Amino acid sequence: MVAILHALYQVLRTMARLCPRFFLPMGISLFMAMPVMSQVVPAADGNGKVTIRVYRANLKQVIRLIEQQTGLTFAISTTALDNAPPISLQVKDAPLEQVLGKMFAYTNYAYEIRNKQIIVYPQTSSPLLSRSIRGSTNHAEAVTVSGVVTDGEHVLAGVSVREKGTRNGASTNGNGYFKLEVGSGAAVLQFSLIGYIPQEVVLKDRKNLAVVLQGDTKVLNDLVIIGYDLQNRANITGAIARVEGKRLKSRPVSNVLAALQGTAPGLLVTRSNGQPGKEGFNIQIRGLSSVNNSEPFVLIDGAVGSLTLLNPEDIESVSVLKDAAAVSIYGPLAAGGAVLVTTKRAKAGKLSVEYGSLAGVERPINLPKRLHAWEEAEQLNVAAANAGLPPFWSPEQLVLLKDPAINAIRLPDGRFEYYGDLNQLQALTRSSSTTQKHNITVKGGSERHQYLLSVGHFARMGLFRIGPDNTSRTNVRFNMNNQLSSHLSLESGLTYVQNHTVSPSWPVDGNYGMLNYLYQAPSNIPVFVPGTEKYTGIFNPYAVLKDGGKRDEMTRYASGVFTLKAEHLLPGLTLKAVYSPQWQQYDDRLARRTIPLWNGDWLVRNLYRPNSLKDTRLTTVQHNLQLLADYELPVAADDHLHLLGGYSLDSYSHELTTYRATQVSPTELTKLRIADRQRATQTGYTGSGFLSSYFARFNWNHDERYLLEANLVAAHLETFGGMQNPTDRWRFFPSIAAGWRINNERWFKEAMPFVDELKLRASWGQVGSFNRYARLNDYQYRENLYYQQELPLEAYLRNNRYMPGASSWEKITSVNAGIDIGLFRSRLNVTLDMFLKRNNNMQVLVQNAYVPGLLPATYNTAVLRSKGWELNVGWRDRKGAFNYWVNANIFDDNNKILRNDGPMRYQAGLNSGLEGYPYNSLFGYRANGYFQQAGEVAMHAFQSDKTGAGDIRYVDVNGDGRINTGANTASDHGDLVYLGSPDPRYVYGFDAGFTYKGFDFAIFFQGVGRRKLLIPPVYSLPFTDSWRQPWDIQQDYWRPDNPQAAFPRPYAGYNMNQEPSSHWLMNAAYIRLKNLQLGYTFKFGRPKSWIEQLRIYFSGQDLWEVNRMKIRYYDPEQNGINGYEYPFFRSFTIGVNANF
């Protein structure tokens, strides 16, 4: 109660000072004159214990807290108070000496504790921050000791150095150096620093020491970023995981998503292929929340950002917010969770430069092994015989195919028969390509102004030997901190990113992609017509790569984050304003040049006829404004209240414009020159809107035992075209969470002293979801530039959908229960969570039956449920100079569509949104081996008139005597059965490592425990088209002497073997060695050395894997839609990090 009155007194006194004419006549001054009592815990000297929890607090506030808790008073100049930098401390019952050492570590001031007074004075009057109290030593035997204190890698400033049994002590300076006069050569020095285990060193007549302090895992990394705030890890009640930036460094990966894969439970990062710049990364937190918007909300330094455009070397830490209690304060923006990234910022100190570089080679994984031309021909004849067709190749032709001296024979009509043996996959792809990454960071500054400039560049070559196939990214980031006054600070961050990807003009993946042809095209056909430079075939990858044009994609991104903070205008009050403008422009230019394909003198076809150019530009502009008030209110000695309130405004606009031109001159394909105005068109889409929200958070902490948090958000959404129901634009999203820190109960401490942390957590909350881009295609801008006789037409805007007003917010309810355990001085840490999410009104597309011709409209008519669990176990310890760690995490998520009023069609293969099944579900026929004899076919349910011995036998599930899909409905889907889901289950990660006397080693595995993959069988069978040739593994096909073969009998053309079935269902569980690093650090301790340290290391990515894929040329990580995906790569790189 006393604390509440004191806080109220401070508020009223400040308001009266600002507006005396209003408050004084009302007699407020009488109330302000009331005495306010405060609790003081007396302490006679520097051995007192203090508890302080502040973030970027003013020095005056920290001094006031220390005076109240110790009974000591400060003697300090006004200049020292005004020039002191902000202070962040999170300590409980910490020695006063440690706290004072931390407070003045990066200042030009030292201190002495004398006669119940803490005297603060300029450092120059007491060299090297020494605060030796000479009255307590025997000068007859006194010796001077000096040395450096480090953590094994970096120097430590602000370390308290004290002669045991005396008040004689010093602190290390910014270079970790100390100097102290002690009583004798047998003295014992005590070294202590917040976040490190105290250490005692017996001098034994030594005068120069090198001391290494071991990090105390119980207090390191205490602060964790949460929504709009920082919070002590021990007091967090929501489900939040933290990933240190150093775990993402020095890895040969294209972006942050690749580095985050497997690092935190509940964080699912997938990729579909290895094409440079087009890896198809997808990120989810705890699986699916909505089919419309399940990607997490990403904030970088408090502003909306993109992980794909972020430089991994710039990251300080990543917080993953998983349950509704953690993310509800973001309202509808975080329906899929949130990822909060903090980038590196400068600290006060001298100018320093860090340079990092890695370079190496990458080798493709799982490229199919092609057969020789005559082997393909022999198997094609078998397929023809099975289909009742005559042989495609005669015995004489087979002999010619095997003759290396004969490549082609010219026919009388001028065409050629080809008898070569060309492996185009081997000829056009590299066995290894290159990757490189460079990063330079410059930082420094004074106590009041600090800056950091980071410039990074990443480049990667692709698979193809010729033509366009590469990507590059350049990142520039500039962060600056400015302490404008004792109360006011400004943090600024500027970012520019340029991402450039160049790829072939023809699609690489898919059923008719370029890799399809390279993987399966006949080996007998050459690239050129013999004796000419004319291209051959029905499709020619070499011609497309060399002369077919290219696809040029460029993304430019610029943003700024400006945070103005006013602290301690009143005790415990912090005001903050954050403004972030962002601009992003994506340009996609597809230029295609006509390629004639010949057979001798005969023109077979023209690829890309006529020359064409398609130029697409998507421009997005976004503005974000946040106004925050943060109030820390110490209600009583054991009770603390924390209040946060604020307002957020997020506005956006996007514009998509596409230009198409044909009959473009080949020499002008790099420019938009419309040669044929009658065929030049422009189309475009546009959209804009804003989301505003008011939010509040309440935290209550009683004696570090009982924790309570409540959040409430009121969100208002306005989109282009308007919300369907204007009264539905506002929504409220509440959440509540509670925690019990059992380890702080007195009875528990006495019973189990080895348990450092035992916390139970529970939360309930709601978040909203509304796809802001759902109506991007609803309004279409179209303009025919010229038509017929160059008569211009007026541009027009067309609404593609009829929206009857039935679509509204989605509201997702989340429940979470968890336990945090820390044992043995927090060396062993365990976190277990169980969660349940339910989306009761998910939007799905429903066709309007009354207005034919319109696109389907969205209605809130589906229910989605997701549930699962997470487990993280970590051990970290240090034995002398040997520091090691082991960490493992695993999580599972299982979703189900409980209701769907939209259209549902059961089909063989991948299905989405079927009621009663996971959102992504695989259906197909149940296979029962092969037919071994023709008689078995006659006795079995009818499959097709082409079925014979060696074909897959399907189970007649419904017993109607026919194998089919019925009416493709829920009540009648014939013999189709549920085969599983392609969604990953039991996703895990494991990492371990150590450091020892300059050596460092780290290893990281990632994997999936359960996943089903059903790649369409058309990709897995040869001869379904005449040009699809077999691989080496497809020689293991059914024959009477090979009845248990991996593949059914070859068949020229279509038959039932191509239907999705359990025969083609693959176990896509895997474990993969994602990264391995081994390095050594050279340290240069000479004071005048221009280089501080140099690390040389090896870093490998995707080095090894184990899986049970039935067809080994498929990768378990690919999406399962296409069989011919761009391969993944193994990366082998050498790197160097240097600090100057």
The dihedral built from the CA positions of residue 236, 238, 239 and 242, taken in this order, carries a sign that is negative
- In tens, the pLDDT along 448-463 reads 899 999 999 999 999 9
The type of residue at 219 is V
Give dist(CA 769, CA 843) in Å, integer: 10
Both structure tokens of 415:
């065409």
Closest by CA to 298, choosing from 316, 312, 318, 323, is 318
Average pLDDT, the chain: 84
Question: What tokens appear for 306 in the block?
Answer: 């993109």
* Nearest C-alpha neighbor of 197 from the set 167, 218, 166: 218
Contact 190, 170 (CB under 8 A): no
SS3 of residue 469 by DSSP: coil
The phi, psi pair for 96, rounded to 5°, reads -60, -40
Number of H-type helices and E-type strands within the chain = 15, 56
Q: What percent of the chain has pLDDT over 90?
A: 56
Across the range 209-231, mean pLDDT stands at 69
Q: Across residues 68-97, what is the average pLDDT?
A: 75
Q: Please name the amino acid found at residue 677.
A: R
So what's the pLDDT on residue 612? 87
Q: Between the CA of residue 109 and those of 91, 192, 252, 944, what are the distances in Å?
A: 22, 19, 44, 90
CB 367 within 8 A of CB 429: yes
- pLDDT at res. 143: 86
H runs (alpha helix) in 136-180: none
For residues 1027 and 521, is the Cβ–Cβ distance under 8 A?
A: yes
Residues 26-34: contacts with CB under 8 Å, at least 24 apart: 34/5, 34/9
Show the 3-state SS of 631-684: EEEECCCCEEEEEEEEEEEEEEEEEEEEEEEECCCHHHCCCCCCCCHHHCEEEE
Q: What are the structure tokens assigned to 863, written together?
A: 């229910």
Helix (H) or strand (E) holding 518: helix 514-520
More confident residue, 978 or 661: 978
Q: Are 563 and 486 in contact (CB under 8 A)?
A: no
State CA 247 to chain mean position distance.
13
Sheet holding 315-321, edge to edge: 240-244, 315-321, 338-343, 297-300, 303-304
> For residue 17, what are the contacts with CB-CB under 8 A and spacing of at least 6?
none
Distances (CA, A) of 545 to 459, 466, 468, 667: 20, 6, 7, 17
Mean pLDDT of 826-830: 93
Lowest mean pLDDT among 201-210, 488-497, 699-708, 1048-1057: 201-210
CA dist 547 and 1131 (Å) reads 30
Using one digit for the tens of pLDDT, what is the confidence trace for 695-729?
A: 999 999 998 899 999 999 998 877 644 445 556 67
Cα dihedral 135, 136, 139, 140 sign? positive
Query: Does residue 771 register a pLDDT over 50?
Result: yes
Compute CA distances 95 → 92, 163, 192, whole Å.
9, 15, 9
Give 560-610 pLDDT, tens digit per residue: 999 999 987 888 899 999 999 999 999 999 999 999 999 999 999 999 888
Identify the residue with better confidence: 640 or 122.
640
- Residue 93: is it exposed, middle or buried by C-beta count within 10 angstroms (0-12/13-18/19+)? exposed
Distances from the Cα of 706 to the Cα of 236, 570, 778, angstroms: 11, 27, 51
pLDDT at residue 784 tops 80: no
pLDDT score of 1138 = 94
pLDDT at 319: 92
Q: How many CA atoms lie within 13 A of 122 on its CB side?
A: 5
Which residue in 1037, 1140, 1138 sits closest to 1096, CA to CA?
A: 1138
Give, in order, the Cα–Cα distances in Å from 828 to each of 48, 327, 885, 1011. Answer: 30, 28, 10, 31
Residue closest to 473 by CA, chosen among 254, 282, 315: 254
User: Where do runs of H (alpha helix) occur along 71-202?
Assistant: 78-83, 96-103
Give the whole-angstrom CA distance, residue 995 versus residue 622.
44
* Residue 220 pLDDT grade (very low, low, confident, very high; cuts 50, 70, 90): very low
For residue 125, the model assigns a pLDDT of: 36
The arithmetic mean of pLDDT across residues 1-17, rounded, is: 40
Q: What is the DSSP letter of 547?
A: H
30 Ramachandran zone, left/alpha/beta (phi>0; psi -120 to 50): alpha
Query: What's the rounded mean pLDDT across residues 548-553?
Result: 94
Q: What are phi and psi of 579, to 5 degrees?
A: -125, 135
Q: Would you say how long the chain is, in residues?
A: 1140
For the segment 909-920, the average pLDDT, to the nearest whole number, is 94
What is the pLDDT averaged over residues 622-626?
A: 94
Question: For residue 118, is pLDDT > 90?
Answer: no
Q: Please state the rounded mean pLDDT for residues 623-633.
A: 92
pLDDT digits (tens, 9 = 90+) for 318-373: 999 999 888 888 888 888 999 999 999 887 777 889 999 999 999 999 999 999 99
